[in-house]
Amino acid sequence: MDTGVVNEVEVWTRACANDGRAFTSLFDTHRDRVFRHVLRLVDNAHDAEEVTSASFFELWRRRASVILVSDSVLPWLLVTAGNIARNVSRGTRRYRALFDSLQRADATADAEQIAVDHFEDDESLGYLKAAMKMLKPVDASLVILVVLEDYAVTEAATLLGLSAGAARTRLHRAKGKMRQQLTEART
Amino acid sequence: MKQIDFDPVFSAAIRSELDARVTAPTARISLRRRHLRLGAGIFAGASILIGGAAAAAGLLTMPGAQEVTELGVSVVETATGTAAVQLGAVPDGATGILVSLTCLTPGTFSFDDGASIGCDMDDVGQPTGGGSYTLNFSPEQQFITITTAPESSWTIAATYVSERTTEWAINANGETYGALNESGEPNLIAVTATNGNGGFVHAGELAHANGSEQAATFTSPEQALAWQDSMAGKTVSVPVYQNDGETRVGEFTIQY
Distance CA B232, CA B228 (A): 6
**Shared-domain flag, residues A23 and A76:** yes
**Shared-domain flag, residues A117 and A134:** no
Sheet of strand B130-135: strand arrangement: B66-80, B153-165, B96-103, B130-135
Q: Which residues of B touch A97 (CB under 8 A)?
A: 105-107, 149, 151-152
**Shared-domain flag, residues A23 and A81:** yes
Alpha helical stretches, state H, B96-243 = 203-210, 212-215, 221-231
**Identity of the residue in A14, A18, A24 whose CB atom sits nearest the CB atom of B15:** A24
Whether the Cβ atoms of residue B55 and residue B65 lie closer than 8 Å to each other: yes
Q: What is the 3-state secondary structure (H, E, C) of A108-169?
A: CCCHHHHHHHHHCCCCHHHHHHHHHHHCCHHHHHHHHHHHHCCCCHHHHHHHHCCCHHHHHH
Whether the Cβ atoms of residue B251 and residue B240 lie closer than 8 Å to each other: yes
pLDDT of residue B159: 84
Q: Contacts from A157-166 at CB under 8 Å and sequence distance 24+? A: A158/A67, A158/A69, A159/A67, A159/A69, A159/A75, A159/A76, A159/A79, A160/A79, A162/A138
- Summarised one tens digit per residue, pLDDT across range A92-139 is 888 888 888 888 876 545 545 445 444 444 666 677 777 777 888 889
Whether the Cβ atoms of residue A63 and residue A114 lie closer than 8 Å to each other: no
Paired with B119 in beta bridges are B107
Say which residues have a Cβ less than 8 Å from residue B111's Cβ, sequence separation at least 6.
B99, B133, B135, B144, B145, B146
Q: Tell if the CB–CB gap between A13 and B225 is shorter than 8 Å.
A: yes
Angle, helices A164-186 vs A153-160, to 10°: value is 100
Residues in A 11-30 with any Cβ partner in B closer than 8 A: 13-24, 27-28
Distance CA B80, CA B77 (A): 10
Whether the Cβ atoms of residue B227 and residue A18 lie closer than 8 Å to each other: no
**Shared-domain flag, residues A93 and A103:** yes
**Shared-domain flag, residues A111 and A130:** no
Q: Tell if the CB–CB gap between A101 and B149 is shorter than 8 Å.
A: yes
Chain A contact for B61 (CB, 8 A cutoff) = no
Task: Report the DSSP pairing between strands B188-192 and B47-48.
Answer: antiparallel
Query: Is A18 in a helix, a strand, or coil?
Result: coil
Chain A contact for B246 (CB, 8 A cutoff) = no
* Domains of chain B (ranges, CATH numbers): 39-53+167-255 (no CATH), 68-165 (2.60.120)
Q: How far is CA B122 from each of CA A101, B128, B166, rounded to the nearest angstrom?
A: 19, 9, 37
pLDDT of residue B59: 43
**Shared-domain flag, residues A69 and A111:** yes
B12 Cα to chain A: minimum distance (Å): 9
Mean pLDDT of chain A, nearest integer: 82
**Shared-domain flag, residues A9 and A88:** yes
- Summarised one tens digit per residue, pLDDT across range A58-73 is 999 888 888 888 889 9
**Shared-domain flag, residues A95 and A166:** no
Residue by residue, pLDDT tens for chain B (256 residues) are 456 788 888 999 899 889 888 886 433 333 333 332 333 334 444 455 554 444 444 444 678 876 777 787 778 888 899 988 888 888 888 888 888 888 888 888 888 777 777 888 777 777 667 777 777 777 677 788 898 988 888 988 888 888 777 888 899 989 999 887 777 788 998 887 878 778 899 988 888 887 777 777 777 777 777 777 787 777 788 899 999 999 999 888 777 7
Beta-carbon-side half-sphere exposure of residue A22 (alpha carbons within 13 Å)? 18
CATH number of the CATH domain containing A96: 1.10.1740.10
| Residues making up chain A, counted from first to last | 187
Paired with B29 in beta bridges are none
pLDDT of residue A90: 85
CATH number of the CATH domain containing A131: 1.10.10.10
Whether the Cβ atoms of residue B63 and residue B167 lie closer than 8 Å to each other: yes
**Identity of the residue in A14, A105, A106 whose CB atom sits nearest the CB atom of B221:** A14
Q: How many distinct structural domains can be found in chain A?
A: 2
Number of A–B residue contacts, CB under 8 Å: 98
ipTM for the complex?
0.84
Domain closes at, from A106, A121, A136: A121
Q: Which residues of A touch B8 (CB under 8 A)?
A: 105
Chain B contact for A44 (CB, 8 A cutoff) = no
pLDDT of residue B205: 87
Domain closes at, from A70, A99, A121: A121
**Shared-domain flag, residues A72 and A139:** no
Domain closes at, from A121, A155, A173: A121
**Shared-domain flag, residues A100 and A14:** yes
Whether the Cβ atoms of residue B161 and residue B93 lie closer than 8 Å to each other: no
Chain B contact for A62 (CB, 8 A cutoff) = no
pLDDT of residue B2: 54
Chain A contact for B221 (CB, 8 A cutoff) = yes
- The residue segments making up the domain with residue A112 are 1-121
Q: Which residues of B touch A22 (CB under 8 A)?
A: 22
Q: Which residues of A touch B18 (CB under 8 A)?
A: 20, 23-24, 27, 56-57, 60
**Shared-domain flag, residues A106 and A167:** no
**Shared-domain flag, residues A104 and A145:** no
Distance CA A106, CA B47 (A): 50
Grade residue A79 by pLDDT with cuts at 50, 70 and 90: very high
A58 Cα to chain B: minimum distance (Å): 10
Q: Which residues of B touch A52 (CB under 8 A)?
A: 6
- Summarised one tens digit per residue, pLDDT across range A15-49 is 888 888 899 999 999 999 999 999 888 888 899 99
